Amino acid sequence: MGKFKPYILVIFLSLIINLTPMMAQEIILIKTKNTTLALQVNTSNELSTIYFGASLDNDNEYGFIPPEYSQGTDYSGVYNATYTSSGSKNLLEPAIAVTHADGNTSLDLHYVSKTITSIGEGITQTDILLRDPVYPFEVHLFYVTYFENDIIEQWTTIKHSEKGEVILNKFSSANLYLKGSKEYWLNQYHGDWAQEMQSEETRLTHGIKVLDSKLGTRANLFQPPVFMVSLETPATENEGFVLFAGLEWSGNFRTDLELDPLNNLRIISGINNDASNYRLAKNVIFKTPKFWFTLSSQGKGFASRNLHNWATKYKILDGEGSRYTLLNNWESTYFDFDEAKLKDLIVDSRRLGVDLFLLDDGWFGNDYPRNNDDAALGDWDVNKKKLPNGIATLVETATNNNVGFGIWIEPEMVSPESNLYQKHPDWVIKQPDREEHYFRNQLVLDLSNPKVQDFVYGVVDDLFIENPDLAYIKWDCNAVIYNSYSKHLGANQSHLYIDYVNGLYKVLERVRAKYPKTPMMLCAGGGGRVDYAVLKYFTEFWPSDNTDPIERIFMQWEYSYFYPAIATVNHVTNWGKQPIKFKTDVAMMGKLGFDIVVEDLNEEDLEFCQNAIKNYSALSNSILHGALYRLQSPLKNDVASLIFVNKNGNEAVMFNYLVNNRYGSGSRNPIIIKGLDKDAHYLVEEINVYPNKEPVVISKAYSGDFLMKIGINPHVNLNNTSVVLKLTRI
Ligand code: GLA
């Protein structure tokens, strides 16, 4: 307590008592269509979570939940505090830990009040104020419910009025309790470059399992911030209780999953506090990022459809709009191109039938030309040797060919071989007295510095000012943060990881304020950065540089649990030895693009691609906005199968892919379809049939009832490795 004056304590306590005279045993319900999170205020004004699960029919019965259901006999209030603090009664992993201005490390948060506000149709915000009875320190817990989508977002704001700075040692966004289950099964992801979204499902044992990232920028490279937890047994596509969750933060994150001695699962998620103690000045509000979650009692498919509906409506830029198909030049030229070559590729884009040509890396740098990945990042002037007439002439050629023009940038980065590095070494994240350590031969600019934010914003703004018809941007981010140190932050080095991300958001806010609509692809050396905070500024993300279609089936499958097809960019490239039909059919289950040498395609391959692009455009409403039903997983079957059913149920597209090359592999049995109207009839037709080949599935009408009970065999086998079916209600 140190310098804390007793009379302040008296005033403070009486304030709380006055504010909360009738609050004891109050129950606060955070409700969505199917689930309820029930919080309870006890007689000591402690706020605890007494229930999270399928909603009860009668709200008044939450009060009947017996105390022993929520509390350990000797540990009243310990295990299920709604936002666990450190240094008082809680002895398990805290959601928040602080060092007060006087050096004391104890925090106890008591309920003060709540406000419930409607903030949109079916969207309600609950704001719960907690305060320490001893220190002038308070936390607001925010819950936003999206009723129809069964999604809850949770975050906090933290503030104090102590004499001096308080150090936030841990500052999580959310603290959930799952209880009453004998077993908890965690489905988590890990990866590396070209191996993103590798799935693992294991039973949680007692103790703490941590999912985290400490990479700074390209934070998802080893582990993304999304996960699932099944109750009792691993949920399947259509059955079981399962929680899907993730943090809306584009930097270091940390999720603790602690199975406590009473078999309650405590999930604590927020910004990673590693090397990030935050010095909070008096009366300044510290806001934690949002943590989203959804609980499904009908398996993973239901959870992911809810998530997709929510994401497209509220979280992804232009999530309910359309998307451009495109031809990218990265794999066909790498850094080796000139104006003539690019103009040919633009003409090829038109020939292929895509909407846009995307110029990738290598177009900039003069003193240090970008002919490889070891120079020029930061020097965003057009390379005069390769493009003597600038970008404008390429945009013009694109316009004349009736295709849009897009361009690649990586504005957060700097190459040591660049004018920018020489001019502004203080803008670079690097230790002053240590040897530089590079990731892909480059370093990260210090976005905590407002001058650097101006510079990065200027890279985008200048491109638009010089090329007002620019139709698309690919924003890349290839390096992680090594040797974390900011010249700008001085004594506040532990703020860097947090201030970097907030600096990035500030830049993106400015970009979107001036250029609200231009589609932008989020890329981070493959799928190194994607979450529901950054997708507010981007229309789509690049899941992986690995575009081998077999690998992509698995990756796209896993990503599809968390991100809708409209946001997931899939390109047909030279990776993999499979025929172009297989590659295209795989890329069509999301946002379709190409990165091939069109000129090298034989006549039939070209004709196939042209037709497939036409089919895709005609069906994009179903694929990009339809409800996704996963029918057969690639993990357990020879054939992976999924179907997108459009919103009014009139049309569906079913993709079927062979994922096993062994003798006799294929779809021996019909695949049962989901999501149709059993009383309707559907014409089933094969599309994307290769030129001069017969369809393997004969066009025929079936009832929805038949298709959902007996199913249809797509006849996928070693000769027909992918089959795409279109279903039209007749
Ligand atoms: C990253 C991206 C690629 C490509 C290259 C260019 O690796 O993931 O798609 O843009 O950078 O250098």
**Which ligand 1 atom sits nearest the alpha carbon of residue 408?**
10
What is the mean predicted confidence (pLDDT) over 211-236? 97
The pLDDT value recorded for residue 89 is: 83
Instruction: For residues 125 and 192, give the distance between their C-alpha atoms in angstroms, rounded to a whole number.
Output: 37
What is the mean predicted confidence (pLDDT) over 451-462? 98
Q: What are phi and psi of 355, to 5 degrees?
A: -85, -20
CB 408 near ligand 1, within 6 Å = yes
Q: Do residues 290 and 362 both lie within one domain? A: no
Instruction: For residues 322 and 316, give the distance between their C-alpha atoms in angstroms, rounded to a whole number.
Output: 12
The pLDDT value recorded for residue 23 is: 41
333 Cα: distance to centroid of ligand 1 (angstroms):
12
- Answer yes or no: is 320 within a domain: no
The pLDDT value recorded for residue 108 is: 95
Q: How confident is the model at residue 78 (pLDDT cuts 50, 70, 90)?
A: low
Residue 511 carries which side chain, given as an amino acid letter?
Answer: V
CB 595 near ligand 1, within 6 Å = no
Q: Do residues 249 and 140 both lie within one domain? A: yes
Q: What's the half-sphere exposure (Cβ side, CA atoms, 13 Å) at 11? A: 6
Q: Do residues 668 and 722 both lie within one domain? A: yes
Last residue of a domain, one of 295, 315, 335: 315
Q: Do residues 239 and 187 both lie within one domain? A: yes
Burial 187-217 (b: 16+ CB within 10 A, else e): bbbebebbbbbebeeeebeeeebebbbbbbb
Q: Do residues 279 and 354 both lie within one domain? A: no
The residues facing 716 across adjacent strands are: none
What is the mean predicted confidence (pLDDT) over 185-204? 98
**pLDDT tens by residue, 480-500:** 999 999 999 999 999 999 999
Instruction: For residues 245 and 253, give the distance between their C-alpha atoms in angstroms, rounded to a whole number.
Output: 13
Does residue 70 carry a pLDDT above 60?
no
Does residue 557 carry a pLDDT above 50?
yes
Q: Do residues 188 and 310 both lie within one domain? A: yes
- Answer yes or no: is 604 within a domain: no
The pLDDT value recorded for residue 72 is: 47
- Answer yes or no: is 577 within a domain: no
What residues make up the domain containing 479? Answer: 326-542
CB 196 near ligand 1, within 6 Å = no
Instruction: For residues 83 and 109, give the distance between their C-alpha atoms in angstroms, rounded to a whole number.
Output: 8
What is the mean predicted confidence (pLDDT) over 318-326? 98
The pLDDT value recorded for residue 5 is: 43
Q: Do residues 280 and 300 both lie within one domain? A: yes
CB 545 near ligand 1, within 6 Å = yes
| From 330, 358, 370, mutation site for ligand 1 pocket: most ligand atoms within 8 A of C-beta | 330
Q: Is 174 exposed, middle or buried, given 0-12, 13-18 or 19+ CB atoms closer than 10 A?
A: buried
- Report residue 260 as tokens: 């406590």
What is the mean predicted confidence (pLDDT) over 361-388? 98
- Answer yes or no: is 708 within a domain: yes
Q: Is 106 exposed, middle or buried, given 0-12, 13-18 or 19+ CB atoms closer than 10 A?
A: middle
Instruction: For residues 124 and 103, give the distance between their C-alpha atoms in angstroms, rounded to a whole number.
Output: 38
- Answer yes or no: is 178 within a domain: yes
More confident residue, 15 or 611: 611
Does residue 102 carry a pLDDT above 60?
yes
**pLDDT tens by residue, 239-294:** 999 999 999 999 999 999 999 988 999 999 999 999 999 999 999 999 999 999 99
The pLDDT value recorded for residue 404 is: 98
- Answer yes or no: is 244 within a domain: yes
**pLDDT tens by residue, 709-719:** 999 999 999 99
CB 410 near ligand 1, within 6 Å = no
Q: How far is CA 235 from the centre of its chain?
A: 21
**pLDDT tens by residue, 409-442:** 999 999 999 999 999 999 999 999 999 999 999 9
Q: Do residues 259 and 332 both lie within one domain? A: no
Q: Is 118 exposed, middle or buried, given 0-12, 13-18 or 19+ CB atoms closer than 10 A?
A: exposed
Best CA proximity match to 335, nearest among 301, 372, 308, 300: 372
Are 167 and 99 in contact by the 8 Å Cβ rule? The answer is yes
CB 364 near ligand 1, within 6 Å = no
Instruction: For residues 92 and 669, give the distance between their C-alpha atoms in angstroms, rounded to a whole number.
Output: 51
CB 360 near ligand 1, within 6 Å = yes
CB 361 near ligand 1, within 6 Å = yes
Q: What percent of the chain has pLDDT over 70?
A: 95
92 Cα: distance to centroid of ligand 1 (angstroms):
43
CATH number at residue 300: 2.70.98.60
324 Cα: distance to centroid of ligand 1 (angstroms):
19
Alpha helical stretches, state H, 475-521: 496-514
Does residue 472 carry a pLDDT above 90?
yes
Sheet holding 35-41, edge to edge: 27-31, 35-41, 47-54
Q: What are phi and psi of 724, to 5 degrees?
A: -110, 130
Total domains in the fold of the chain: 3
Instruction: For residues 169 and 392, give the distance between their C-alpha atoms in angstroms, rounded to a whole number.
Output: 51
Does residue 24 carry a pLDDT above 60?
no
The pLDDT value recorded for residue 15 is: 40
575 Cα: distance to centroid of ligand 1 (angstroms):
14
Residue 415 carries which side chain, given as an amino acid letter?
Answer: S
Are 102 and 4 in contact by the 8 Å Cβ rule? The answer is yes
- Answer yes or no: is 555 within a domain: no
Q: Do residues 364 and 270 both lie within one domain? A: no
CB 478 near ligand 1, within 6 Å = yes
- Report residue 628 as tokens: 């996704």
- Report residue 187 as tokens: 């489905």
Q: Do residues 308 and 333 both lie within one domain? A: no
Q: How confident is the model at residue 68 (pLDDT cuts 50, 70, 90)?
A: low
What is the mean predicted confidence (pLDDT) over 195-221? 97
Torsion of Cα atoms, 580 then 350 then 643 then 586, to 10°: 30
Q: Do residues 251 and 293 both lie within one domain? A: yes
Best CA proximity match to 270, nearest among 250, 284, 290, 286: 290
The pLDDT value recorded for residue 13 is: 38
Instruction: For residues 553 and 230, give the distance between their C-alpha atoms in angstroms, rounded to a whole number.
Output: 24
More confident residue, 392 or 78: 392
**pLDDT tens by residue, 638-665:** 999 999 999 999 999 999 999 999 999 9
Instruction: For residues 465 and 472, give the distance between their C-alpha atoms in angstroms, rounded to a whole number.
Output: 14
Question: Residue of the nearest CA to atom 12 in ligand 1?
Answer: 361
Are 183 and 232 in contact by the 8 Å Cβ rule? The answer is yes
CATH number at residue 524: 3.20.20.70
The pLDDT value recorded for residue 90 is: 86
Last residue of a domain, one of 294, 315, 336: 315
Burial 417-434 (b: 16+ CB within 10 A, else e): bbbbbeebeebbbbeeee
Q: Do residues 96 and 29 both lie within one domain? A: yes
At residue 461, the 3 state secondary structure works out as: helix
Does residue 22 carry a pLDDT above 90?
no
What is the mean predicted confidence (pLDDT) over 613-635? 98
Question: What's the Cα-to-Cα distance from 129 to each of 140, 156, 162, rounded to whole Å?
Answer: 5, 10, 18
- Answer yes or no: is 585 within a domain: no
The pLDDT value recorded for residue 29 is: 98
Last residue of a domain, one of 315, 338, 354: 315
Does residue 218 carry a pLDDT above 80?
yes
At residue 178, the 3 state secondary structure works out as: strand
Does residue 9 carry a pLDDT above 90?
no
523 Cα: distance to centroid of ligand 1 (angstroms):
8
CATH number at residue 707: 2.60.40.1180
More confident residue, 584 or 261: 584
Does residue 622 carry a pLDDT above 90?
yes
Any idea which of 18-22, 238-242, 355-359, 494-498 has the lowest mean pLDDT? 18-22
- The contacts of residue 368 (CB under 8 Å, 6+ apart) are 375, 376, 379, 415, 417, 418, 419
| From 195, 335, 361, mutation site for ligand 1 pocket: most ligand atoms within 8 A of C-beta | 361
Q: How confident is the model at residue 473 (pLDDT cuts 50, 70, 90)?
A: very high
Mean pLDDT of the chain: 94
CB 525 near ligand 1, within 6 Å = yes
Instruction: For residues 725 and 661, give the distance between their C-alpha atoms in angstroms, rounded to a whole number.
Output: 22
- Report residue 18 as tokens: 């006055």
Q: What are phi and psi of 592, to 5 degrees?
A: -80, 135
Instruction: Using DSSP bridges, classify how beta strands 291-296 and 404-409 pair: parallel, antiparallel or unpaired.
Output: unpaired
CB 523 near ligand 1, within 6 Å = yes
Instruction: For residues 306 and 627, give the distance between their C-alpha atoms in angstroms, rounded to a whole number.
Output: 9
The pLDDT value recorded for residue 67 is: 63
Best CA proximity match to 240, nearest among 288, 282, 302, 187: 302
Q: What are phi and psi of 542, to 5 degrees?
A: -95, 115
Instruction: Using DSSP bridges, classify how beta strands 291-296 and 151-160 pair: parallel, antiparallel or unpaired.
Output: antiparallel
